[in-house]
Amino acid sequence: MAAPTETIAFTDVSRELRRQVDAALHGYTEYDADCPAKLADAIRHSLLAPAKRLRPILVLMSCQACGCECSSALPAACAVEMVHTYSLIHDDLPAMDDDDMRRGRPSCHAKFGEATAILAGDALLTQAFEAIATGIQPPAAAAHCCAELAQAAGASNLVGGQEDDLAAEHAAGGLDQLERIHRRKTGAMIRVSLRLGGIVAEATPDELTALDTYGTKIGLAFQIVDDLLDLAGDAAKLGKRTGKDSTHGKLTFPALLGVDESRRRARQLIDEAKAALTVFGSRAADLESLADYVLNRDR
């Protein structure tokens, strides 16, 4: 059966944005001779592996929704992907989630050793801020983007959420605790992706608030779907092992709410996210389609 025209259009748009992000990431990983070859290989192995590029696409689409040419936000889009990839490399380490597969490849430490994987993550985290500082104009927008990305990736968000998530393994907990972990661990990076696109496009306060609400809602929906995919998804499509949450005794949405209620909640969040976009009119068509993708994704 043929896919609806809208779906085809969205697939084309996101494929083209992914192509632009991938090309730019290749450029960012052409290091000078002072970068050790093994470190450069480890960075490229993880950063250039096949991935959805959800966060950078969100940066570019939010910039476009605010009426600005998306190429002006490309350095910020790549910066978010660098921070995200660093977090995946470190999350896979034996001291954390201990995963040997990521993005359909051996995880970074499985291929290059733990020390090089830690350093590859460190290098990506640092390079993200260089990409924004040197690539985003005007300088005030670059400084604003750096501050927001640092906040989202820092102790009160990504890193703090990860710490609490590790501490919550094999411990009893409720929905409030689970949502608090994921608002920081997964949600903050998705939310900041939307905000960075808006900042580059000099969004109005109303537009920035709308992007923030949309980002918060799809961030939580993304995590609920992630939990459902860990339970029943296809490891080959996902490019990582499934069933790890129950092995690790993790607090998850399906474990707390059941599969049907988790799915219902995710759908409700996606509807609320789309409703937040009215301020943009037809300029938000791609963000609307992307919200549906977050709900229906299988990888």
CB atoms within 10 A of CB 231: 17
CB under 8 Å to 54, separation ≥6 — which residues? 190, 222, 294
**Cα 145 from Cα 29, distance rounded (Å):** 21
> Which 15-74 residues touch ligand GRG, going by CB under 6 A?
51-52, 54
Nearer to ligand GRG, 52 or 263 (CB): 52
Residues 21, 62, 64, 90: which binds ligand GRG (CB under 6 A)?
90
Residues 46, 62, 162, 289: which binds ligand GRG (CB under 6 A)?
162
> Which 213-232 residues touch ligand GRG, going by CB under 6 A?
223, 226
Stretch that binds ligand GRG, among 11-19, 155-163, 257-265, 274-282 (CB under 6 A): 155-163
Nearer to ligand GRG, 28 or 280 (CB): 28
CB under 8 Å to 82, separation ≥6 — which residues? 28, 47, 124, 125, 127, 128, 131
Residues 18, 45, 185, 274: which binds ligand GRG (CB under 6 A)?
185
Scan for tokens 């069933």, then name that residue.
Answer: 243
Nearer to ligand GRG, 14 or 162 (CB): 162
Based on the shown chain and the rule CB under 6 A, indicate whether residue 245 belongs to the binding site for ligand GRG: no
Based on the shown chain and the rule CB under 6 A, indicate whether residue 88 belongs to the binding site for ligand GRG: yes
* β-pair partners for 105: 102
3-state secondary structure at position 138: coil
Residues 9, 133, 159, 259: which binds ligand GRG (CB under 6 A)?
159
- State the minimum distance, in angstroms, from the CB of residue 96 to ligand GRG: 6
Nearer to ligand GRG, 231 or 279 (CB): 231
Based on the shown chain and the rule CB under 6 A, indicate whether residue 186 belongs to the binding site for ligand GRG: yes
**Cα 70 from Cα 72, distance rounded (Å):** 5
Q: What are phi and psi of 107, to 5 degrees?
A: -65, 165
Residues 91, 148, 207, 288: which binds ligand GRG (CB under 6 A)?
91
**Cα 77 from Cα 57, distance rounded (Å):** 7
Q: Find how far residue 235's CA is from the centre of its chain.
A: 19
Token pair of 249 as six digits = 């005794």
Based on the shown chain and the rule CB under 6 A, indicate whether residue 158 belongs to the binding site for ligand GRG: yes
CB under 8 Å to 3, separation ≥6 — which residues? 11
**Which residues are near ligand GRG by CB under 6 A?**
51-52, 54, 84, 87-88, 90-91, 96, 103, 158-159, 162, 185-186, 223, 226
